[in-house]
Amino acid sequence: MSEQSSATAARTVTADRTVGLILGALGVLAFSMSLPATRVAVQHLDPWFVAFGRAVGAAALAWAYLRLTGAPPPTRDQWRRLSVVALGVVVGFPLFTSLALTTETSAHGAVVITVLPAMTAVFAVLRAGERPPPLFWVAGLGGLVAVLTFLVASGAVSGAVSPPDLFLLAAVVLCGLGYAEGGALARELGGARTICWALLLSLPVTAPVTVVAAVAVPPHSDAVAWSAFGYLCVVSMFLGFFAWYAGLARGGIAQVGQLQLAQPVFTLAWSALLLGETVTPASIGAALVVLACVALTQRTRANAPAPASPRLRRTHLGVDDS
């Protein structure tokens, strides 16, 4: 009986990891357009309006989702933790990336954002109690070095540290914190409800700033900029987190977080498909190295908190059959 129970538990953990990786990959794919879309939007719209307006638009969708699903309100402790999520991914990351990309390119931003998986892993240790083994850190560092080497060699970044770089670094720290806290909280609330409640919690800040920004600099632009802004609202700030937080909760925050190493590669692919830019053999080589490092991180086993109960696992995408 004990052996059968152990085998069942092992299959459950393996299934959770597999589903977590799939959901995490969908989240990375959704986020891979965030920097290019932000870059397009802030060239025509005020960066403060872009940073906070996207959160207001996503909050409207979140309110509708929570009403339709009849989600119960979070507990007092969950509200406290949601404030950390809101600070990181609803306010901090959008604001600092918007400010940085008013003068820097999305390719330059991708260089600094490359350290986000490592930052997420650090906060997974500090906030979620995960303990990745040494091989995990070696593989993650290898992927980071591969991406940075390629981006620097390809001329995507040059010069000394500038104010936009500091904005991007602040964005990375806050985003890593928000990812780790949100991934841990999603084990209780589900991925969808975690981001939805965080968006609503942020409204007392995001709504007034959006109004002030719109009055100070009335938003007038073409369809391209508004389409980019719409992508940020619906995908980057809303739907992408459904999959991302559910993936972190199921597969482990540190390990699934390493999938972000492939994000600059996806950004290059989007540039080739949508902007007609050339993908060089060097970029393909870097992509293969990064994917190999990502695969190696997924072969490690972290010491993490126990998986959620079956009922809680059904809520990872915000759906409960109770």
Tokens read off for 48: 């403060």
- Report the SS3 class of residue 303: strand
Q: What is the mean pLDDT of residues 85-105?
A: 91
Task: Look up the pTM and report it.
Answer: 0.80
Determine phi and psi for 222, rounding to 5 degrees. -90, 180
> CA 289 to CA 85: how far, in whole Å?
32
* pLDDT at residue 133, rounded to an integer: 80
Rounded distance between C-alpha atoms, residue 288 and residue 284, angstroms: 6
| The pLDDT of residue 166 | 84
Residue with tokens 């936009």: 164
Q: Are 101 and 109 in contact (CB under 8 A)?
A: yes
Structure tokens at 157: 């970044």
Whole-number pLDDT of residue 1: 45
Query: What band does 157 get if pLDDT is binned at 50, 70 and 90?
Result: low
In this predicted structure, the answer to whether residue 153 has a pLDDT above a threshold of 90 is no
188 has a pLDDT exceeding 70: yes
Neighbours of 15 (CB within 10 A): 13
With bands split at pLDDT 50, 70 and 90, how would you rate the model's confidence at 64? very high
pLDDT in tens, 197-250: 999 999 999 999 999 999 999 988 899 999 999 999 999 999 999 999 999 988
pLDDT value of position 283: 64
Compute φ and ψ for 200, nearest 5 degrees. -70, -40
Q: Which residue has the higher pLDDT, 281 or 1?
A: 281
pLDDT at residue 45 tops 90:
yes
Are the C-beta atoms of 259 and 23 separated by less than 8 Å? no
- Neighbouring C-beta atoms of residue 135, cutoff 10 Å: 13
Question: 285 Cβ partners below 8 Å, 6+ apart?
Answer: 150
Label residue 284 by pLDDT band (50, 70, 90).
low
Angle at which helix 76-85 crosses helix 191-216, to 10 degrees, equals 50
Residue ranges of the alpha helices (H) in 129-190?
A: 134-153, 163-189
